[in-house]
Amino acid sequence: MHFSEDDLRSALRRKDPGASFTERVIARCRQAEGKASAPRRLKTPPFRQPWWPLNLRAAVAATLVLLLAVGGWLAVARYRQVHEKEAGERARQQAILAMRIAKAKLNHVLVKASQTRDDKIRGERL
């Protein structure tokens, strides 16, 4: 196949690429850059991701809240248990004291009444 000089001149002649050539080139370059950089981003470790610190903080905060809630609940339960035990022991001692006094005074009155009755009977006999 032979090309004449005119053919070559015509083929190598400068052609106008059009007004949007620059934009098309820039767009193509960006597309190419995007494709090239996508796999690289996947290789970034999770702790280097922009969202990583936020997620870690949320996890720590949630754990702390949970620990505080459980700890608080346990403390309240323990306080109630101790408080009820103290109140119960106090009530028990009060009941024992009350029954002791009631018993002593009941028997005291009964003994005195019995003595008075015996004295009367003795007096009548004499």
Partner 1 sequence: MKTTNRSLRWPSIVLGGLLFCLLPVSGFAQHARLSLNNLERLNSKAAEVNDVTLEGEMLQLASKFMEIDHDPEAAQIKEIIKNLKGIYVKNFEFDQPDQYSPADVAEIRAQLAAPGWSKIVENRSKRNGENNEIYLMKEGDKVAGVTILVAGPKELTVVNIVGPIDLDKLSALEGKFGIPNSGEWPKNKPSGEAPHKKN
Q: Which residues bind partner 1 (CB under 8 A)?
A: 84, 87-89, 91-92, 94-114, 116
Smallest separation (angstroms) from partner 1 to the CB of 61? 41
Query: Are the C-beta atoms of residues 16 and 22 closer than 8 Å to each other?
Result: no
Smallest separation (angstroms) from partner 1 to the CB of 77? 18
Question: Using alpha carbons only, how large is the chain's radius of gyration in Å?
Answer: 52
Smallest separation (angstroms) from partner 1 to the CB of 100? 6
How many Cα atoms sit within 13 Å of 119 on the Cβ side? 6
Residue that has been written with the tokens 């702790």 in this structure: 47
Joined tokens for residue 58: 């949320």
Beta carbon nearer to partner 1, 30 or 117 = 117
Residue type, 105: K
Beta carbon nearer to partner 1, 61 or 87 = 87
Residue that has been written with the tokens 């323990």 in this structure: 78
Smallest separation (angstroms) from partner 1 to the CB of 75? 22
Beta carbon nearer to partner 1, 60 or 104 = 104
Distance CA 76, CA 74 (A): 5
Beta carbon nearer to partner 1, 66 or 113 = 113
